[in-house]
Amino acid sequence: MDYLIYIAFGLGAVVFSILGWLGVRWWIINHGPRSNLLKERIQILSEKNQVVITTDPIFKETLFSENPVIHDILDRFKLSHALNDLILKAGSEFSVHEFLMWKIGIIAVSFVGLWMLLGSAVSAFWGSLLFGVAPIVWLMSENRKRKIILEKQLPDLLEFMSRSLSAGHSFNSSLQNAAAQSPEPISSEFKICFDQLNVGMPIRDVMAGLVKRIDTSDIRFFAIAVVLNREVGGNLAELLSDVAALIRGRLTTRLMINTLTAEGRSTAKFLGVLPIVAVILLKLIDPHYFDPILKSDSGVRLFAFTAVWAIVGMIWMRKISNIRL
């Protein structure tokens, strides 16, 4: 059973490395130089004609839990707000409390099952951590899939609104018709915007909520265009048509880049998985294959050093083949 312990420790190291990489990536996306520059530009554009925010919100704040005590506890932690934003962007109906309960349940069940299967609490602990990461990975995967779908649906919706505005309809009416004629999930998001405008919510707050639910550059372009048009005037139909053309051009370029970098991304995935598969297969074929290395201090350090650099190499290859527009 020693090889199972080694495999468990290896999986634990991979899990913590992935979590560290995801944390660094999240910080760069939300607080990095590019994000700060974008926030500064939006702030400069919105300094004039600031809308006075009323003290009583028109819509209820998001509840982290149906239980007021648990809601108050979760509301104190920034991680709860970040998790709630991730759930919202993924289009899931889970509350933060429900999601955490599912996550804890998965960890507990996997720990007991692995302990009974492997007979080692240490191996079961690392394995349960691996299973515990799965819900977060699922949310991030759903968020990414939903973003791709929304980005593909957005140009058609904007062109529909542009034609509706050119025919003489109001912005609210054009928004309602576009939401009614568009497929999910973009239909639901713009239906929320229409309902908020109908109850008197300021356009700036409506667009800010849309950007929060769909955090993509294309949605930001649309939100900025609508807010600026409402504040300084202009031909909104022509502006939306130009934004739709811009988004289509970005999508075409992104597809071309994905085609050209497909080999590099596939190579990064293959080279990243290959060492892990090779170690597991060698241990299954010959359980004592790595004993000379693992029984010496220098061998363990060399093994750990190799594993870390393999992960760094995989991330680096993924990074250079992931071109952001």
Report d(CA 89, CA 75) in Å as an integer.
19
- pLDDT bracket for residue 56 (50, 70, 90): very low
- DSSP assignment of 182-243 equals SPTTHHHHHHHHHHHHHTT--HHHHHHHHHHHS--HHHHHHHHHHHHHHHH---HHHHHHHH
Q: 């309960």: which residue's tokens?
A: 101
Query: How long a stretch of residues is the chain?
Result: 325
Distances (CA, A) of 199 to 63, 195, 242: 21, 7, 29
Checking if the pLDDT of 280 tops 60, the result is yes
Over range 256-273, report the average pLDDT.
Answer: 79
- DSSP assignment of 72-133 equals HHHHT-HHHHHHHHHHHHTT----HHHHHHHHHHHHHHHHHHHHHHHS-HHHHHHHHHHHHH
Q: Quick one: tokens of 161?
A: 């609104």
pLDDT value at residue 31: 65
- pLDDT bracket for residue 50 (50, 70, 90): very low
Of residues 127 and 33, the one with the higher pLDDT is 127
- Strongest mean pLDDT among 37-41, 118-122, 186-190, 307-311: 186-190
pLDDT tens digits, one per residue of 181-220: 888 888 888 898 888 888 888 888 888 888 888 878 888 8
Backbone angles phi, psi at 52, to 5 degrees: -75, 125
Over range 51-73, report the average pLDDT.
Answer: 58
23 residue type, one letter: G
Over range 111-123, report the average pLDDT.
Answer: 77
Checking 144-149 for CB contacts under 8 A at 24+ apart, the result is: 146/89, 146/90, 146/91, 146/185, 147/89, 147/214, 147/215, 147/216, 149/185, 149/186
Domains of the chain and CATH, by start: 150-256 (1.20.81)
